[in-house]
């Protein structure tokens, strides 16, 4: 049993992060919350708005990178805490998308728990890419009405991250990688010409590819594209060239049509 000692409302008001710590212990240790200790969490969760964003970044890592991210997230949502940490995402997770629930974040958290259980590395940048994907995708789609998709993605990333840092700060060493993961998504659709090999050599290709695979697992119609990239990474260079050629020279292949040179008019000699 987890129980706050002393005057419980006072203890929470002294340090609202105790609410996060209590839920983390519930998820990690399988303990129960004492009745009043539990009841006050939902009531006093808005107090987390008084905590410095940099401190909430540290707490986010403890919550989601302790090996029990999926259960922890469900608790945060149940007790109305998540909406005070990631309000942009919380607003969209409460809605269905084309009559289907939004599952990418839970898939990402489940995969994170599996990787940690297998002693595999996990980057916070990938976690934040998943945590903020829903608001990022919405803003991206809106901006695509005004500009090309890659500049739209870059602008959407800047706006979503800027708003998020008002509640949970994300250091630049992670936010830059998160941006790269997001920006790789529209680029992975463009495989013609030399683009596929160029993307394969990109330092953040693997993270972008893993995120694309996560999107496919979550129900987006991307499995054929994921399979193509999976094969492309494994075959020799000659086969890679064949795969690119098989795509055909469609629009957007990166090749420009040669411009016809206009002839200069021949000047006539004046008699």
Name the average pLDDT for the chain: 90
Average pLDDT of the segment spanning 3-25: 95
Per DSSP, the three-state class of 9 is helix
120-175 residue pLDDT tens:
999 999 999 999 999 999 999 999 999 999 999 999 999 999 999 999 999 999 99
Return all residues near 131 (Cβ < 8 A) that are at least 6 apart. Answer: 86, 89, 105
Residues of the chain with CATH 1.10.3090.10: 52-241
The CATH superfamily holding the domain 52-241 is: cca-adding enzyme, domain 2 (1.10.3090.10)
Q: Which of 189, 186, 181, 190 is nearest to 160 (CA)?
A: 181
User: Per-residue confidence at 95, pLDDT binned at 50, 70, 90?
Assistant: confident
207-230 residue pLDDT tens:
999 999 999 999 999 999 999 999
Model-level pTM? 0.86
């Amino acid at each position: 049993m987890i129980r706050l000692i002393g005057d419980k409302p006072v203890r929470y008001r002294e340090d609202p992060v105790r609410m996060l710590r209590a839920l983390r212990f519930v998820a990690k240790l399988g303990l129960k919350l004492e009745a009043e200790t539990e009841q006050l969490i939902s009531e006093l969760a808005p107090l987390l708005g008084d905590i410095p964003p940099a401190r909430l970044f540290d707490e986010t890592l403890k919550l989601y990178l302790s090996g029990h991210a999926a259960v922890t997230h469900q608790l945060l949502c149940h007790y109305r805490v998540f909406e005070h940490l990631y309000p942009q995402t919380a607003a969209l997770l409460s809605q269905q998308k084309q009559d289907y629930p939004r599952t990418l974040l839970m898939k990402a958290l489940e995969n994170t728990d599996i990787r940690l259980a297998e002693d595999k590395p996990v980057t916070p940048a990938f976690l934040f890419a998943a945590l903020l994907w829903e608001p990022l995708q919405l803003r991206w789609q809106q901006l695509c009405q005004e500009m090309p998709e890659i500049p739209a993605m870059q602008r959407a990333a800047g706006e979503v991250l800027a708003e998020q840092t008002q509640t949970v700060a994300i250091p630049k060493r992670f936010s830059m990688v998160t941006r790269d993961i997001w920006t790789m998504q529209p680029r992975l659709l463009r495989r013609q010409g030399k683009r596929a090999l160029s993307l394969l050599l990109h330092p953040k290709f693997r993270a972008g590819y893993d995120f694309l695979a996560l999107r496919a697992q979550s129900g987006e119609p991307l499995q054929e594209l994921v399979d193509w990239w999976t094969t492309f990474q494994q075959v020799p260079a000659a086969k890679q060239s064949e795969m690119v050629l098989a795509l055909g020279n469609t629009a957007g292949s990166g090749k420009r049509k040669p411009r016809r040179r206009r002839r200069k008019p021949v000047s006539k000699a004046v008699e």
